[in-house]
Amino acid sequence: MTRDGIADLVVFAGTVVTMDSDPATSDGAEGVAIVAGEVVAIGNRTALQARIDETTRVVDLPGAVILPGFVDSHIHPVFGIELTRGADLSRCRTLADVESALRAEVAGLSPEDWLLGWGLDPNVFGEEAVSHAVLNSVAGERPARIRFFDAHAALASDAALALGGVTGREEFTDGSRVVTDEQGRPTGYLLELQAIDLVERVLPPLSFEHRVDALYEVLLNMARGGFTSGQVQDLAPDAIPLLTAIEETRDLPIRLRMSPWYVPGTPIEEVVRLAALQGAHGRHWVVEGVKLMIDGTIDNGTAWLHEPDCLGESTTSLWLDPDQYRNALTELDRRGIPTTTHAIGDAGIDFVVRAIDGLTEHAATHRIEHIETMTDAALAVFMSSKATASMQPTHCTLFTRADESDNWSRRLGHARAGRGFRTRDLVSAGIPLALGSDWPVAPSDAVGILADAQLRRPHDDPTAQPIGPDQALDAMDALRGLTVEPYRTIGRTGGVLRAGAVADITVLDRDPRTADPESLGEAAVLLTIVDGRVVVDAGVSGVRGSSRGGRR
């Protein structure tokens, strides 16, 4: 008896969305058959029955929808372990909220512990200057530090500043800044990575074993959120040892593609080291591409704008000499290494898109991340440049408001805020656009991203006004942003279900092509399959969303 054609796993549902340009593949399809991590057949129940014997695992989810596994095009899972230590402040809307969250956190700490927190939205300060007063009052002598939601800023208490030896007179090579008051004393507000690191490096470290388990949990949560793969926009110092340690005992919950940084100001010889890292891999992770950053963030006044923001900030690149960025990009391209570049402000986007447009070889694909406020002129260059795009719809919907009362919009002013998050313009211009979360900046929630990209407001807040509704994506463009486009934007193909494709599959309880976006935002992820392996089975284990009507 031969096992020829017999599947390891067959999944039946109501519909199969293949994202294949050939619609014949999905016509009448009700399931997929998988052998050794590969899709071998897509078809109706009768056709797939021939693939089943007593060795086959069959998962039957009538009414559910099978999709290519979702890819989050922008995540920081390893940095996220550190970035999410302590109190979760991401839901705090006022300073009083922050204070009570910190008091609750401090109550559970031992005397030697630091008070830590993360996810702080600068809007809690309203019109007031950002300062560490709340940290000093809650923590007292205990060192305390909290991270802002965007990971580009931190707030340290006086005790933490003292431990870090921070004086306010430091100088940096990456546009970092220790903010000081009129007397030159640090206010606790630390902007960008080198400044944040002054305090971060004296924080008691987590043990390696703790980090291994924490990373596994982070990745499992991403699988629960519907993702089968993530494009990691960093290569954290111990990322490879951590992933290796996980793979010694189990499989990663999702695939990872990790792009190490070319840090502003680094000599061009850095390209040799980055080239040598390319292709390092485990079973489900690979080092590929290089991540660069042309600027910081609007919220912290470290973006690069053509004209200053309303506080006179966001006027320069993180590169003291932006031409060094151009040289690095050119050298990486010459070696065929794809890049992703963080570019948020209009001048930063303008500079990067022109640098990509000016490449002579185009030996690799170059993608621009974030693209928060963009001029028409930059969009025009984008179209000719072969640059691709990666954006985070929930950064628009969760951190800005239609009435422009939020910090991001106030800093930019009406005209530039009105050119915010131009997803529709990019797609209409034919530019490949991948979508993602930038976790831990925003939640790793695939259906939330699909919903908010269409609604331009938080899907779970029907009272919120849409922000720039003319920039909304339609259902198919949003879906392409989590399936086909994450591959196309890095010069690869994928995100399509067909015979021969890798068996990375997401199963939802409703069809993202036709569901009302508000309802889509509440969709349950029933199944996440990575490399033919069922990682999340919410229908059976009830891990997530089993009470939301997934089983019919």
* Closest CB 295 distance from Zn ion, rounded Å: 12
Q: Contact at 8 Å (CB) between 15 and 25?
A: no
Q: Per CB under 5 A, which of residues 430..489 are in contact with Zn ion?
A: 438
DSSP 8-class letter at 432: -
* Closest CB 390 distance from Zn ion, rounded Å: 10
Draw the binding track, 172-211, toward Zn ion (x: CB under 5 A; -: no contact).
Answer: ----------------------------------------
Stretch that binds Zn ion, among 58-66, 229-237, 318-326, 538-546 (CB under 5 A): 229-237
**What is the CB neighbour count within 10 angstroms for residue 112?**
8
Stretch that binds Zn ion, among 225-233, 418-426, 461-469, 527-535 (CB under 5 A): 225-233
Q: Contact at 8 Å (CB) between 531 and 37?
A: yes
* Closest CB 227 distance from Zn ion, rounded Å: 16
Helix H, strand E, coil C: the string for 143-197 is: CEEEEECCCCEEEECHHHHHHCCCCCCCCCCCCCEEEECCCCCEEEEEECHHHHH
Please state whether the peptide bond connecting residue 440 to the residue before it is cis, i.e. omega within 30 degrees of 0: yes
Residue with Cβ nearer Zn ion (231 or 397): 231
Residue with Cβ nearer Zn ion (233 or 400): 233
Stretch that binds Zn ion, among 187-195, 197-205, 227-235, 332-340 (CB under 5 A): 227-235
| Beta-bridge mates of residue 369 | 342, 390
Residue with Cβ nearer Zn ion (233 or 407): 233
Residue with Cβ nearer Zn ion (406 or 438): 438
Q: Report the distance separating Cα 187 and Cα 352, nearest Å.
A: 33
Residue with Cβ nearer Zn ion (12 or 261): 261
* Closest CB 330 distance from Zn ion, rounded Å: 23
* Closest CB 76 distance from Zn ion, rounded Å: 6
Draw the binding track, 500-519, toward Zn ion (x: CB under 5 A; -: no contact).
Answer: --------------------
Helix H, strand E, coil C: the string for 256-295 is: EEECCECCCCCCCCHHHHHHHHCCCECCCEEECCEEEECC
Residue with Cβ nearer Zn ion (106 or 391): 391
* Closest CB 437 distance from Zn ion, rounded Å: 10
Residue with Cβ nearer Zn ion (151 or 198): 151
Residue with Cβ nearer Zn ion (255 or 342): 342
Stretch that binds Zn ion, among 23-31, 64-72, 135-143, 230-238 (CB under 5 A): 230-238
Binding of Zn ion at residue 229 (CB under 5 A)? no
Q: Going by C-beta distance under 8 Å and a sequence separation of 6 or more, which residues neighbour residue 357?
A: 381, 384, 385, 386, 387
Residue with Cβ nearer Zn ion (346 or 438): 438
DSSP 8-class letter at 439: B
| Beta-bridge mates of residue 145 | 116, 156
Nearest-CA neighbor of 471 among 409, 425, 408, 413? 425
* Closest CB 402 distance from Zn ion, rounded Å: 25
Among 26, 176, 187, 233, interactor with Zn ion by CB under 5 A: 233
Place of tokens 């402000």: 345
| 10-47 exposure pattern, b = at least 16 Cβ within 10 A, e = fewer | bbbbbbbbbbbeeeebbeebbbbbbbeeebbbbbeeee
How many residues interact with Zn ion (rule CB under 5 A)?
Answer: 2
* Closest CB 438 distance from Zn ion, rounded Å: 5
Q: Report the distance separating Cα 156 and Cα 147, nearest Å.
A: 9
Q: End-to-end CA distance of the chain, in Å?
A: 37
* Closest CB 149 distance from Zn ion, rounded Å: 12
Q: Which residues bind Zn ion (CB under 5 A)?
A: 233, 438
